[in-house]
Amino acid sequence: MVLKSLLVCADDNAAEILRSILEELDIEGERCCDFVSAAAKLSEALVDAIIVDCDDYKSATEVLKKARLSPLNGTSLVIALVHNHDDVRRVFAMGANFILYKPISVERARSSLRAARGLMRRERRRHPRIPVHTAAGIAYSNVESAGATLIDLSEEGTAIQSQCKLPASEKVYFQFTLPGHSSVVRLAGEVVWQDSSGRVGVRFVDVPQTSRKLLKEWLRQNAFREAKPVPRVPARIEQPAVSKGSDPVSKPADADDGLARFRATPGDRRGESRHACQLGAEVYQLGIPVPHRCSLSDISEGGCYVETSSPFPPETGVEILVRTRDLKIRTRGIVQSVHPGFGMGVRFKPKTAEERDDVQQLISLLHAQQALEPGLP
């Protein structure tokens, strides 16, 4: 599965570092040095991620606005390049999912882009694929008519069996009828992958409205044929309140890929954006190398809430370690409030700029996941 990105950056040093990392992660990276050509590219080509330098905030906003409104790149992951923490809130407001700080650190950029790659792959397969077996006609470059068989189908793509090696850098045109329907579906796609057995993965890039309607109707009628995963019920998180002191402890979330599902906490109760989450963590008292395994149920740039039946006393210095599939986050803090039997509120007190950035990277990752799965509670 080839992932594609568009790098909108006039900074040669930053662009060189990022293109090298993208290549290392098997993500195709095309660069645009100006916003006009970037906007044109996003209107005609599908990409999995848009990496945009926000030095020119107004132009960057216009490009991302057009991308979000386009049928091709409305759900593409957005990674913003910023200079300092003051820029973070406004780039999230303009639709960014991730942030990278300039000047670019190779290790931190690699870690962030690796995490982003996992979300890009997840978005690729977000739409359910329904098994199907039907003949299709295909055409491309100098081939006017060739045969293929559709193996599975989704609203965004298909897998086919073909005796021809299809071109990887141009549109392939399809026409077929769906089982139980007589109307012909006509659309264009691009090859995402193909193997030596003749199986080809195709992503749709141009689907006329009538064909889109036929696809949606057929997929809805045949949704029962999709292989059903074992259901997971996300934990509903209830924050212990000081005034009540008797709120139930949240049920722990089921095991995930290291990232918790989350939603924004209503209101700005503490003067900064906080988010409910369910993250496994190890918490240490400073100077004592004994881990206490807990859960974080609320996090912001300034602090978090740690669920534990045995909270530490107020003003205790702590170190918090969170591991996800792609990131390892470590930061320090001070216990601010204690709710015996429930947990404790911790104010972050990072010792280094790297620790502060670690917290922001974790929040960025949670932002990205929520943006890609907006229906989560």
How is the chain split into domains, by residue range?
3-124, 130-225, 263-372
Q: Is the pLDDT of residue 372 over 70?
A: no
Task: List the single range of 192-196, 278-282, 311-315, 371-375 with lowest mean pLDDT.
Answer: 371-375
Strands 77-82, 98-101: pairing kind:
parallel
Classify residue 343 as left (phi > 0), alpha (psi -120 to 50) or beta. Answer: left
What is residue 301's predicted lDDT score, i.e. its pLDDT? 84
CA dist 7 and 28 (Å) reads: 10
Cα–Cα distance measured from residue 282 to residue 152, given in angstroms and rounded to the nearest whole number: 43
Number of H helices, E strands in the chain: 7, 18
pLDDT at 35: 93
pLDDT tens, 11-55? 999 999 999 999 999 899 999 999 999 998 888 777 889 999 999
Q: Output the average pLDDT for the chain.
A: 78
Residues sharing a CB contact under 8 Å with residue 210, sequence separation 6 or more, in sequence order:
183
Q: Which residues lie across from 333 on neighbouring strands? A: 318, 348
| Amino acid at site 65 | K
CATH topology of domain 263-372: Thrombin, subunit H (2.40.10)
* Average pLDDT over every residue of 217-243: 50
Residue 235 has pLDDT above 50, yes or no: no
Q: Judge whether residue 79 has pLDDT over 70.
A: yes
Domain 130-225, CATH among 3.80.10.10, 3.20.20.220, 1.10.10.10, 2.40.10.220: 2.40.10.220
341, 307 Cβ separation under 8 angstroms? no
What confidence category does residue 373 fall into, taking pLDDT thresholds of 50, 70 and 90?
very low
- The amino acid at residue 328 is K
For residues 186 and 122, what is the distance between their CA atoms, to the nearest angstrom?
Answer: 27
| pLDDT band, residue 229 (cuts 50/70/90) | very low
pLDDT top residue among 73 and 104: 104
Q: What homologous superfamily is domain 3-124 in, according to CATH?
A: Response regulator (3.40.50.2300)
pLDDT digits (tens, 9 = 90+) for 109-132: 888 888 888 778 776 666 667 888
Rounded (10°) angle between helices 106-124 and 12-24: 50
With both helix axes pointing from N to C terminus, report the angle between 353-372 and 106-124 in degrees, rounded to the nearest 10: 10
130-225 and 263-372 have identical folds:
yes
Binning pLDDT at 50, 70 and 90, where does residue 248 land? very low
Mean pLDDT computed over 234-263: 34
